[in-house]
Amino acid sequence: MNFTELGLQPVLTERCDQLGYKEPTPIQHQAIPIILTGSDLIGCAETGTGKTAAFLLPTIQRLFEKPAAREASPVRVLILAPTRELALQIETNYHELAPKRAPRCVALIGGAGFAKQLDGLRRGAGVCIATPGRLLDHLERRTISLSNVEVLVLDEADRMLDMGFLPAITRVLALLPKSRQTLLFSATMSKEIEKIARTTMREPRFVEVSPRGNAAATVEQKAYPVASNSKTALLLDLLEREHIESDRVLVFTRTRRDAERIAHILEAREHKVNRIHADRSQPQREAALREFKNGQARVLVATDIAARGIDVDSISHVINYDVPAAPEDYIHRIGRTGRAGRAGQAITLVAPIDEPSMRSIERLTGRDVERILLPAFGGASPATTTANRASLSRAGSVSRRSFRPRRASR
C-alpha cells in the first residue's frame, strides 16, 4: 500500500515521495484513515515507527480541506509534547511535510525567548506546538487563545504525566472547545493513562501496532554486570572497542551531574562528545543535537529529558550508564537505536544495586536481557549472581526466571 491509498491528497503524497517515504509504516497505515474521518484516536506504537507523520499528514490535510474562518484566534491545531527537543522535532517534521501554502507553525517552548514566539503568534500561526509549561506562560499573558482549536494532539502523554504536567494539561483542556478532534500517541501507555485519555475523548478508536512494553525487534539487548566503582572504566572500554569505535553512540545517565562528569572524562580521552540535560540552555541543547546529527560529536551523553526528543536514524548503540528509574524509560531510551528497520545495540551497565530495577524492566518487556560477564570490571560470578537472584526471588522481590550470564572474550 502507498500513501495515496490512505486517502491523502496528491500534494501530501508528493511531499512523502520527496522525503523518501515509499510505504506507510504500520502505525501510519492504521491511524491515517481513522484520523481523516475526524474520529478521536489513541495510537500506541514503539518509538521510531513514524507516529509523528501519522498525525501530521491527516491534520495538514484537514487544514487544507476546511479553510479557516476569519477569527481573532487563528490557532486551529494544538500539539503538546513533554520536552523541548520533541517539540522542535515535531516542528521540523511539520515544515518537511507541509506544502508551501500550509498554515504557519510556531513552537512555544521553555528556554527560548518570548519575542520570536510572540512574533510567530502575531503573524497568524495556525499550528501551535508547545510544551505545557510554556503554553501556560502564554495563556497567562493572554498572548494566545485556544478558542478555535479544532485538533488537539497529545504526544507522549505518559511522559508528560511522569514529568508532573497533569495539572497543566487539565488547565489547557478546560480552555479548549468541546467539539474538537483529540489524538493521543505514545510508545507506552499505562491503564491509568488510557483512563485519563478516555475521559477527554469522544469514543476514541484504539490502534496498537506492537504490544505495550515491547522494544523494537531490531535492537539487540545486552547487560554487563559491573561493580559500581568500575562503571566508568567499563564505559570507556566499550567505547574504545574496535567494533563501535567509529559509530554514533548515545549514553544515558540518571543525573545531570553524571552527564557532565562523563562528558568531561570522554573529552579528556579525546572522544568527540557533547551532552544534553536540563541545566544546559536551549541554544546549547540545540547545538549538541546538531553536532550529534552531523557527526561532529560521535558520543552524546544525555539524561532522560532527551529520550523522546532525539530523532537520529543512524544511532548504532545506546548505552545505559545507569539503569533507568522507571522501566518504561528503558523502552524509550533503547528506542533511539534500531530505527527505521536498522539494526541497533542496547547495552546496560548493571551494578549490584540495579538488579531489582533490571528485573522490573524484564517483566515489562517480557524477555530476559543477556548478561555478559567481564570479571576485570568487577562483574559478579555466575554462582554469586544466581544465588543473589534466588534469594531475592524467595523474598518475592523479583521474578523466578533463570539467570545464566555467560563469560565473554575481550
pLDDT in the model for residue 367:
87
* pLDDT of amino acid 386: 47
Low-confidence ranges of the chain (pLDDT < 50): 381-387, 389-410
**pLDDT at site 365:** 86
- How far apart are alpha carbons 365 and 327 in whole angstroms? 9
Residue 211: what pLDDT? Answer: 59
pLDDT in the model for residue 405: 34
Nearest-angstrom CA–CA distance, 353 and 356: 7
DSSP 270-309: T--EEEE-TTS-HHHHHHHHHHHHHTS-SEEEE-GGGTTT
CB 410 within 8 A of CB 376: yes
- CATH topology for 219-407? Rossmann fold (3.40.50)
CATH 3.40.50.300: which residues of the chain?
A: 4-208, 219-407
Q: How far is CA 186 from the centre of its chain?
A: 9
Burial class of residue 18 in the structure, from the number of CB atoms within 10 Å of its CB (0-12 exposed, 13-18 middle, 19+ buried): exposed
- Decide: helix, strand or coil at residue 157: helix
The 8 Å CB, 24+ separation contacts for 5-9 are 6/32, 6/33, 6/36, 7/32, 7/33, 7/36, 8/32, 8/36, 8/57, 8/58, 8/61, 9/61, 9/64
Quickly name the fold that domain 4-208 has.
Rossmann fold (3.40.50)
49-73 pLDDT, tens per residue? 788 999 999 999 999 888 766 665 6
